[in-house]
């Protein structure tokens, strides 16, 4: 073995041992038990209509797209689902990329220039952070959903170019909602470009299920929204929605779009079916948010109704122990630890879906209370 690879192996093994010691070494484990951790909020991923449509599309178009969209990978199925998604979001245009991760990188690296300033919520998703880092804009982090801190920073940080505000609408690990109406006001006052990641809100919020931009009614103030199709829509990929000129520019400039094989064309057909299903899913939306409300009430943690309920335990090992005990009782819940969440806030991220019954959720709540009680001596501040 070459010396350099021994050095590398040694370095990597030392890092893995360090992750072990910190209680943050990740392991892969397959689904088992009642789903309380996926992002399949409406149960579309296994829906018979979705399966059928996907299989039919594979029969018709094959498995792979064979190239980037700019080469032979483009298909009319992509174009038509983009047009439909743009109408769904009430924007002039949309572009489909292989994942929400790719979309966030593409958007932020394409539009942010070095003389721009981007204001970013401190709990924004890693893909947003990486996209901002890839751009050369100055990144200014404000407190989570902290309107005063953001307003103060906007007034005080000089900017020679464009100012951006970047936020999730429904936060993925906390299940709370950004003050979007306030951001819309700021946008109107300062001419900011507002970029909203709707990954967890699409399908669950809004009268038609298009997300929180619709729910709060701030569409005219949003420059771009990024909408993962891998969560409530049950497939994969993501749509960037906004004005024609911006979408056209992404086709030229977004490197994850230009330099990557297009997703299987059948994904476009499956998403089209998901949009059909969404039109009939008001009850599912209402049900899943009702579960969010009742689980919070049973656990005495806040008064929101989102489908994402964080149970913050603090220490990494406690979150892992709680998740292991719940899984042993048949509930598939996962521990979320740093760097996904800030140090000292390890948690169970409970995500609800429309296939769950109120009884199952209440059974889970009582098991969780028992487990938290068992762990209580370890939870007490030392």
Name the residues annotated as catalytic: 39, 125, 168, 172, 197, 200, 231
Instruction: In angstroms, give the least distance from the CB of 169 to ligand PLP.
Output: 9
Residues 246-305 that bind ligand PLP (CB under 6 A): none
Whichever of 105 and 318 has its CB closer to ligand PLP, that residue is: 105
125 binds ligand PLP (CB under 6 A): yes
Cβ atoms of 100 and 238 closer than 8 Å: yes
Q: Does 238 bind ligand PLP (CB under 6 A)?
A: yes
Query: CA angle at residue 131 from 130 to 135, to 5 degrees?
Result: 115
Stretch that binds ligand PLP, among 1-9, 96-104, 263-271, 318-326 (CB under 6 A): 96-104
Contact between 228 and ligand PLP per CB under 6 A:
yes
In whole angstroms, give the CA distance from residue 186 to residue 159.
16
C-alpha torsion sign, points 167, 171, 172, 174: positive
Q: Which residue has the tokens 């760097």?
A: 339
89 part of the interface to ligand PLP, by CB under 6 A: no
The yes or no reply on residue 197 touching ligand PLP (CB under 6 A) is yes
Closer CB to ligand PLP, residue 267 or residue 375? 267
* CA quadruple 132, 135, 137, 141: dihedral, nearest 10: 10
Which of 91, 99, 167, 307 is close enough to bind ligand PLP by CB under 6 A?
Answer: 99
Q: How many Å apart are CA 351 and CA 202, to the nearest integer?
A: 15
101 counts as binding ligand PLP under rule CB under 6 A = yes
> 86, 199, 295, 361: which one contacts ligand PLP (CB under 6 A)?
199
Where does this chain touch ligand PLP (CB under 6 A) — which range of 44-52, 93-101, 278-286, 327-335?
93-101
- 106 is an interface residue for ligand PLP by CB under 6 A: no
Instruction: Identify which of residues 225 and 325 has a Cβ nearer to ligand PLP in the complex.
Output: 225
Q: DSSP secondary-structure letter at 123?
A: T
- For ligand PLP, which stretch binds (CB under 6 A), given 8-16, 47-55, 94-102, 254-262? 94-102
Show contacts with ligand PLP in window 138-177 (CB under 6 A). Answer: 168, 172
Spatial neighbors of 17 by CB under 8 A, at least 6 apart, are none
CB under 8 A, 24+ apart: contacts of 210-216: 210/88, 210/89, 210/90, 211/89, 211/169, 212/169, 212/170, 212/177, 212/178, 212/180, 213/89, 213/169, 213/180, 214/89, 214/90, 216/180, 216/181, 216/184
Residues lying near ligand PLP in the complex (CB under 6 A): 99-101, 104, 125, 127, 168, 172, 197, 199, 228, 230, 238
């Amino acid at each position: 073995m070459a010396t350099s690879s021994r050095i590398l192996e040694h370095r990597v093994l030392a890092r893995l041992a360090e992750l072990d010691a910190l209680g943050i070494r990740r392991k892969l484990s397959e689904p088992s038990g009642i789903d309380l951790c996926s992002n399949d909020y409406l149960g579309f991923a296994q829906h018979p209509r979705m399966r059928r449509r996907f299989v039919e599309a594979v029969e018709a178009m094959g498995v792979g797209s064979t190239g980037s969209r700019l080469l032979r990978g483009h298909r009319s199925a992509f174009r038509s689902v983009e047009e439909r998604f743009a109408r769904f979001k009430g924007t002039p245009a949309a572009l489909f990329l292989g994942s929400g991760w790719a979309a966030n990188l593409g958007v932020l690296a394409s539009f942010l220039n070095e003389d721009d300033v981007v204001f970013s919520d401190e709990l924004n998703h890693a893909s947003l952070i990486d996209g901002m880092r890839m751009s050369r804009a100055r990144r200014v982090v404000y407190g989570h959903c902290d309107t005063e801190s953001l307003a103060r920073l906007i007034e005080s940080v000089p900017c020679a170019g464009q100012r951006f505000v970047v936020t999730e609408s429904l936060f993925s690990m906390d299940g709370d909602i950004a003050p979007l109406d306030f951001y819309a006001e700021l946008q109107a006052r300062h001419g900011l470009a507002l970029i909203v990641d709707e990954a967890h809100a699409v399908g669950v919020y809004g009268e038609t299920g298009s997300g929180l931009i619709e729910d709060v009614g701030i569409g005219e103030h949003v420059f771009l929204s990024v909408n993962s199709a891998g969560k409530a829509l049950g497939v994969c990929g993501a749509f960037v929605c906004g004005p024609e000129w911006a979408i056209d520019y992404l086709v030229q400039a977004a490197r994850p779009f230009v330099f990557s094989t297009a997703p299987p064309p059948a994904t476009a057909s499956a998403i089209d079916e998901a949009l059909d299903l969404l039109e009939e899913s008001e009850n599912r939306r209402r049900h899943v948010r009702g579960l969010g409300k009742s689980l919070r009430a049973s656990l005495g943690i806040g008064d929101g109704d989102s489908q994402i309920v964080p149970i913050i335990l603090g220490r990494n090992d406690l979150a892992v122990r709680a998740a292991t005990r719940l899984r042993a009782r048949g509930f598939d819940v996962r521990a979320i630890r740093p760097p996904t969440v800030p140090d000292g806030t390890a948690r169970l991220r409970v995500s609800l879906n429309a296939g769950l019954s109120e009884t199952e959720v209440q059974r889970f709540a009582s098991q969780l209370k028992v487990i938290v009680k068992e762990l209580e001596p370890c939870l007490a501040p030392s």
